[in-house]
Amino acid sequence: MSTQVPGNPEDFPNDGLESLVADWASDQKTFKNVSWGKAMMWIFLLSDTFIFTSFLTGYMTVRMSTTVPWPNSSEVFALTIAGNHIPLLLIAIMTFILISSSGTMAMAVKFGYEKNRKVCGILMLITAAFGASFVGMQIFEWTKLIVEEGVRPWGNPMGAAQFGSTFFMITGFHGVHVSIGVIFLVIVAVKVLRGSIELGRPGFLTGRKGNYGMVETMGLYWHFVDLVWVFIFAFFYLW
C-alpha cells in the first residue's frame, strides 16, 4: 500500500482523469460496503431523473410558449359525484395512495433488516397493492379523457393541442415505472415470504444469504417513483 503523504502534487498522476477512474474502479472508497445492485440502482435513477426533467422542462416550455389557451386542470380532471363538480378529486386520491405507499415501503425495509420476513413481505405486498390501485385509477383517468373529453396525443378539443401529447407522454411514462415497480415488488415479496433470502436459495433477485439489500434497492426505486409524481402533480395538475 502506498505511503504517500496527501497534499504533494508530485505524488499523484498528472492526469486527473486517471486518478478519478482509479478511485471509482477500485471499489474501495466510492462504493465501500455498497452492493453493486444498490450502486447500479442509484445510477439508473440518476439517468431517469434526466429523462423526467427533460419531459417536465419540455412541458413547461410548450405551455408558456403556446398561443392557444391551455385547458384548466381543475375542470379537466374534475369528477361529478351526486351532481357536485369536485375538481382534482381523483388526482388527490391517487397522490395520497402513492405517498402512503412510500410509508409502507420504508417500514418494509426496516423490518427486512430486522430479519422479520413475514412483516416485511406483507408490507411489500401492501405497497404493491397501493401501486396497482394507482395504475388502475390512472387507467380510469385516461379512459375518461379519451372517451368523454376526446383528448388525443395529436389533438385536444378543449384548447392547446400540446396538452394531449404532454399529458399522455409524462403520465404514461410514469405509469410504466409504477407498473414495473409493482411487478418487482410482488416478486421480491414472495421471495421474502418464502425465506429464499435467508436461506440463500439460488434464483432471480435472491442475492446473498441473509442479505435484505434487495428490499432496500426496491425501496430506492419506489421512493423515486413517488417523488417524481409529486413534481408531476405540482407542475401538471396544480399549475
Q: Which range has the worst mean pLDDT, 50-64, 98-112, 207-221?
A: 207-221
Q: Model confidence over 137-187: pLDDT tens digits? A: 999 999 999 998 899 988 888 899 899 999 999 999 999 999 999 999 999
Residue 1: the pLDDT is 46
DSSP letter for each residue of the chain:
---PPTT-GGGS-S-HHHHHHHHHHHTSSTTTT--HHHHHHHHHHHHHHHHHHHHHHHHHHHHHH-SSPPP-HHHHT-EEETTEEETTHHHHHHHHHHHHHHHHHHHHHHHHHTT-HHHHHHHHHHHHHHHHHHHHHHHHHHHIIIIIS--BTTB-TTS-THHHHHHHHHHHHHHHHHHHHHHHHHHHHHHHHHTHHHHT--STT--STT--HHHHHHHHHHHHHHHHHHHHIIIII--
pTM comes to 0.83
- Whether residue 225 is predicted with pLDDT greater than 90 in this model: the reply is yes
- Whether residue 25 is predicted with pLDDT greater than 70 in this model: the reply is no
- Which domains does the chain possess? 35-237 (1.20.120.80)
Q: Model confidence over 67-105: pLDDT tens digits? A: 999 999 888 998 888 888 899 999 999 999 999 999 999
